[in-house]
Structure 1
Amino acid sequence: MDGESSPRRRRRADNGGQLRRIPSQKRGRDRFEKILAVAMELIERNGSDALKMSEIVEKADLSFGALYQYFPDKTSIIRTLAERFNEQGRACVQAELAKVTDAAGLRQALCDIADQYYEFFRREPVMRDIWFATQADKLLREVDAEDMEFHAQALLAALKRLSPDRQDAELVMVSRLVMQLLAAAVRYAISLDEKEGEAAIALYKKMLPADIERLSGM
């Protein structure tokens, strides 16, 4: 029988890329972190598409049972890594948008977020690979969608401070669109070589209007 038609495969499919459980004991946490560290090393070397559970088992010196105790499939590993990296990005977005008190500050915050995201993905090849992977995998796209909505809500809070009389529905649309465009600009820039990528981010910042909060009144 082919290994991928076994109950193991059915078990992985049933979990849909979700963690089986989060360990609470130190030994379990250490094993959990070791699995993620090995996965990051393998992704950096070969890319997420080439990641195999069998390689993780071998390199982490674990049994398949120990691995599947936490991660039912490689999608659940990639999802966990993506969510961890997203936490760092969310902290950046929250910190920058929390400073906003006027239109000029809002534009500067978005410029700073674009710069920081671009630099982050340049220095983190594993996250760059995973970010692209979240666009290609249906199960992982929901992680990206949740992250984008978090960013949109953070921007919405800033827009409400600047335009308290505007309708929420208008501001929500502006918030989502602005953050989608920012993500698209960064994603495009990191697909280029470093010099061209920096130029793309610089051009994106020039294209940002000075009064972004007024877009909802167009």
Structure 2
Amino acid sequence: MTNPPESLSSPARSTAGEAGRQPRQERSRHRVETILDVALALVVEQGAEALAMREVARRADVQISSIYQYFPSKAHIIRELAKRNLARVRLLLQDEVRRLLAEFDDAPPVAESVERLVDAYFAHYRDQPDALAVWAGAQSDHGLRELDLEDTRSTAEFLVMPLQRILGRDDRETVYPLALLVSEVTGAAARLALALESPLREQLIARHKAMLVATLEAHRT
């Protein structure tokens, strides 16, 4: 008999805001990594909505009670996978910003900066099915969308300094709203582009870049 899929937004044993036990021993950490690896593979295969704790336990060869110790619901698993993906994206953008600042003596051109940062962000999701599947899963759940908002704000904070260098401005009250806009609309544009076929996909990304360049150029000192 096939078990019905567990709702992503309906936790099995606790609310989405509660955390499970944190692994402390090496064996426990290894078990958690195995659980997450299996869950990620299932999300890629079937989508986040179809993820079932029983199937995770079966494929990971652990008791389902062991999973609930660390992840009280499937929403907690998706949240952890999403957090890890967002951390990888952040590191990717930080590396690209460092390269831009180094290559252009702390004052990279607007167009070059937009081109490279948008390309790096888009390529991460285009080339990694696991990242895209987790992202889609997080977007489909209201509770997990809060994580996306948190990441938008965090990314905006990180972008303030490079944008100040790019725009030649010191006033945070102008730059921070721009950083929020860049972070949020780039995520939205990437989600839409990835749902489209070529050449419309590439045309949309090109228009998005042009819009960002025009907006940022208008705020240069």
Q: In structure 2, what is the Cα distance between the partners aligned to 1:164 and 1:203?
A: 24
Assess if the C-alpha contact under 8 Å between 1:162 and 1:213 holds in 2: no
> Residue type of the partner of 1:102?
A
Which runs of no fewer than 5 residues in structure 1 stay unpaired? none
Q: Deviation at 1:77? A: 0.5
Which runs of no fewer than 5 residues in structure 2 stay unpaired? 1-5
Question: Which range moved further: 187-196 or 167-176?
Answer: 187-196
Question: Which range moved further: 87-96 or 16-25?
Answer: 16-25
Q: In structure 1, what is the Cα distance between the partners aligned to 2:178 and 2:78?
A: 30
What is the Cα-based RMSD across aligned positions, in Å?
Answer: 2.4
| Helix, strand or coil at the partner of 2:13 | helix
Q: Give the equivalent residue in structure 2 for 1:118.
A: 122
Assess if the C-alpha contact under 8 Å between 1:93 and 1:151 holds in 2: no
Assess if the C-alpha contact under 8 Å between 1:90 and 1:151 holds in 2: yes
Q: In structure 2, what is the Cα distance between the partners aligned to 1:194 and 1:88?
A: 26
For 1:12-161, list aligned pairs within 5 A. 12-13=14-15, 16-98=16-98, 99-100=100-101, 101-102=106-107, 104=109, 106-161=110-165
Question: Which range moved further: 17-26 or 134-143?
Answer: 17-26
1:84-131 Cα shifts (integer Å, max 9, x gaps)? 111110012212233343351x43222212212222112222221221
Report the count of equivalent residues: 207
Assess if the C-alpha contact under 8 Å between 1:19 and 1:76 holds in 2: yes
Q: Deviation at 1:213? A: 5.7
Assess if the C-alpha contact under 8 Å between 1:148 and 1:180 holds in 2: yes
Q: Give the equivalent residue in structure 2 for 1:171.
A: 175
Q: Give the equivalent residue in structure 2 for 1:11.
A: 13
| Helix, strand or coil at the partner of 2:196 | coil
* Cα distance, 1:91–1:36 mapped onto 2, change above 3 Å: same
1:171-213 Cα shifts (integer Å, max 9, x gaps)? 1111111221211111111111354323322232233326716
Q: Which structure features the higher share of helix residues?
A: 1
Q: Give the equivalent residue in structure 1 for 2:3.
A: none
Percent of matched pairs sharing the same residue? 33
